[in-house]
Structure formats: structure tokens, C-alpha cells
Amino acid sequence: MRANSLVMESGSEPGTDDAVPPQRPADPPRTPAKRPRRRPPLGLVLLALPAIAFFVVFSYAPMAGLVVAFKDFSISDGVFGSPWSGLDNFRYFFSTGDAPRILANTLFLNTLFLGATLLTGITLAVMLNEIRVKLFKRAIQSVIFFPYFVSPIVISIILQVLLAGVGGSGGAANDLLHVFNLPQVEWYTQPGPWPWILTVVKIWQLGGYLSIIFLAAITAIPEEVYEAGMIDGASRTQMAFRITVPLLRPTAAVLLVLGIGRIFYGDFGTIYAIVGDNGTLFPTTDVIDTYVFRSLRQLGDFGSTAAVGLFQSVVGFVLVVLAVLVQRRYAKESSIL
């Protein structure tokens, strides 16, 4: 476009007496200009082939199994031989009185987890960045990263010791309450505190992990920016909030979009390992994944579970698209797509 407009401008040179306006040159033929064909180098394709094969086999090919969501699945007839059942499998989940509560729990818990872990990750990263003694910094990094490797089963046992103790009528938390003459709480029969307990667990698990990602992003911030801040007389706190945090926005945006994509997935591992089949806690902790798992385990109904799985995926995809669009609209500079 730019080249064409230059040509147009040069077509009527200023100062000429020619009354006849210059003719607009005929449009060039619509066929695109012949460009040299860009071929991906074979070497790079070969390098990518194992990864492509991995995704094809483990991510795309299994999508064929999604037809089960629309079938009255029978083991002997197989995935493609079972009769079609329309939307019956979807009705199973949405016809339960539990569906609104389960959807609300899924959204609420995941929003809580996402917000809390990102905030903690950024805060820890900024704090770690301020530590100047290298050995101490590395030791702290290792310590806060460690919970990421702890299995949810181990976390559930730790929680039982803390909240219930042997036989379910004690626990360190209750011992502490006793010290302050406060009434004991039967944690495992009170659903109210559990979204917050689970959020604390998620922060403990992921805070350190995310802080390392943010710390890596901080190291990429040019030193000159801080030097300019120092010349302007900014304090360390001002530099942290005016330079570091704003420049972490692209990284936070990537993590946010990825998190939003999985917001309809209820972090099954952690929630099921900790809550299990404890029905008294379901009002605040039962999410789509735990509900589906129970259905599958109790009746082995693959059709209904595939239907809910498909619903989760579609909603997740829509949310990712929406998140990206919103980012593009309001924070184009940090948009990832």
C-alpha cells in the first residue's frame, strides 16, 4: 500500500500546467504477484515430527472418541458400533438439581485458585528479586518451589493431621483453638471454610512455582530501566510497583489466559485427594470433575461422562477465545495472540 501511494503521488507533479488530471493507471491484474514459495526447511520439520506425532496420537486422534458423548455406549458394540442417543447424555448432567451448584463451585474455586496463585507468584517474585545475598535467595527459591512436587495424597494426609488428628476429633488446628479457649471445629463436616482451605493449599503448592516463572521474566527486564528509575530518584518500593510489576503484565497475561482455558476443569487431583467422597463438604467443593468421576466409578457410564467432558472442553475453548479478545481490546501490548 505504501509503495502504491508513493507512485500515485509522483503521478501528478506539482507545478505542471497540465489541465487534464492524470489518468489513474489501470488496476494491475488481480492475480497475486509471483512470490518465491516459502517452504519450511525439511530439517526443522523432521525435528518437529516427534512432537507433531505426539499431539496427533495423544491429543487429536482421541478426539474421535468424543462421539461417545452422543451415543448409548455399549462395551461390546464399541465406540463406533454403539447406537446414537442424541443429546440424552447431556441431559443426564443438566437434569440433576446439582448442576447449577457444581458449575458455580467449579467457576468459583478455579477463579479463586487462579487469582490467589498468580497474585502470590508475583508477590513472591518481587520479594525474591529484592534479596541480594545469592545463596540465601537460592535457598528460599528451593524451599518455596518444593511444595510443587508434593503429591496431593500427601497433602491430604498433612491436612488430616492438622485439621482432624487420629479418629477425627482433634488435630493441631483444634489444639491451637483450644489454647485460645476457642470452640473446636469439626473441619471435615463443615463445608463453609473449605474453599479457603483449598485455596491456601493451592497457594502453598503453586505460589513458589509461579514465582520462578515471574522471576525469570524479571531478569529479562533491561537494567537501564531501573537505572533510569534510580536517576529519577525512585525508591526500591516505587521501582518494584512502577517498573517490575507493570513489566510482568505480559507473563501474567499468558498465565491468566492458560488458566482461564482450564477454568472449567476443577483441579481434580487436589480436590478429590483431599475431599474424597465426603458428602458433607460437597456443597462448596464438588466440581464437575469430581462429580463425573463418581458417576463413572459408580455406574461406568461413559456416555454421560464423555458428554460432560465435551461440555468442559467447549466452554474452556470459548473462554480462552474470549480472554484473548478482551486482552486484544483492552491490553493489546500484552496480548499473546
Partner 1 sequence: MSANLSRRGFLAAGGGLSLAAVLGLSGCGDSNSDSSSGDGAKDLKLLLPGAVPDGWAAVLEAVNKKLQADLGFSITPQFINWNNYGSQALLKFTAGEKFETALQARWLNMAQLVGSGSLVDVGPLVTGGKYPNLQKTLNDKLIELNKWSGKLWGIPQVNSAGRIHHFAIRQDLAEKYGITEITDYPTLEKFWYDVKQRDPRVTPIALSQNQSNLTCVPGPVAMFNAASWENANRIAQSFSGGSMPFFLAENAKETGSSDPVPFWELDGVVDALRTIRKYYQDGIINRDALNVDAATTKGLFTNGQTASAWATTDGLSSTTLLPGLQKAVKGAQLANVVPLKGGKSAKPNQTFQADNFTVLNAKGASNERAMQLEDWLSIKENHDLISYGVEGKDWKPVGADKFEQLSTYAFPGFALCWRTSLERRSALMTESEADWFSWAQDYDNFTVDTFASFIPDVNPVKREEAQISQAFTQYGNPLFFGAVDVDAGLDKLKKAVSSAGLDKLQTELAKQADEYLKTVK
Positions touching partner 1 (CB under 8 A) are: 37-43, 45, 52-53, 56-57, 60-62, 64-65, 74-81, 92, 95-98, 160, 164, 166-169, 186, 188-189, 276-280, 282, 286, 291, 294-302, 304
What is the smallest separation between the CB atom of 287 and partner 1, expressed in angstroms? 13
Q: In angstroms, what is the minimal distance from the CB of 156 to partner 1?
A: 8
Count, residues in the chain: 337
**Closest alpha carbon to 83 in 61, 95, 67, 94:** 67
Phi, psi of 84 (to 5 degrees): -70, 145
What is the smallest separation between the CB atom of 265 and partner 1, expressed in angstroms? 18
Q: Tell me whether residue 164 or residue 323 sits nearer to partner 1 (CB atom).
A: 164
**Which residues, in sequence order, are bridge partners of residue 71?**
84
Residue type, 111: T
Burial class (CB in 10 A: 0-12, 13-18, 19+), 93: buried
- For the CB of residue 164, give the shortest distance to partner 1 in the complex, in Å: 5
**The one-letter amino acid at 275:** V
Retrieve residue 330's grid coordinates.
483492552
Nearer to partner 1, 299 or 326 (CB): 299
Q: Which is nearer to partner 1, 242 or 294 (CB)?
A: 294
Residue type, 181: N
Nearest to partner 1 of 36, 233 (CB atom): 36
Are the beta carbons of 174 and 162 closer than 8 angstroms?
no
Residue 129 contacts residue 218 (beta carbons within 8 Å): yes
**CB of 227 or CB of 277, closer to partner 1:** 277
Nearer to partner 1, 29 or 97 (CB): 97
Integer Cα distance of 253 and 331 in angstroms = 9
Residues 84, 87, 93, 95, CA torsion sign: negative
Minimum distance between the CB of residue 295 and partner 1, rounded to whole angstroms? Answer: 5
Q: Which is nearer to partner 1, 9 or 77 (CB)?
A: 77
Count CA atoms within 13 Å of residue 40 on its CB side: 8
Kindly state the DSSP code that residue 72 receives in the 8-state scheme. Answer: -
Q: Bridge partners of 84?
A: 71
As measured in angstroms, the least distance from the Cβ of 189 to partner 1 is 5
Q: Which is nearer to partner 1, 88 or 247 (CB)?
A: 88
> Closest separation between CB of residue 37 and partner 1, Å?
7
Q: Rounded to 5 degrees, what angle do the CA atoms 203, 205, 210 make?
A: 75
AA letter at 228? A
Residue with cell 491490553: 331
Instruction: For residue 103, give the H/E element and its range.
Output: helix 99-130
Q: By C-beta, is 128 or 306 nearer to partner 1? A: 306
Is 302:324 a contact under the CB 8 Å cutoff?
Answer: no
What's the min distance (Å) between Cβ of 296 and partner 1?
6
- Taking the complex as a whole, the smallest distance from the CB of residue 48 to partner 1 amounts, in Å, to 9
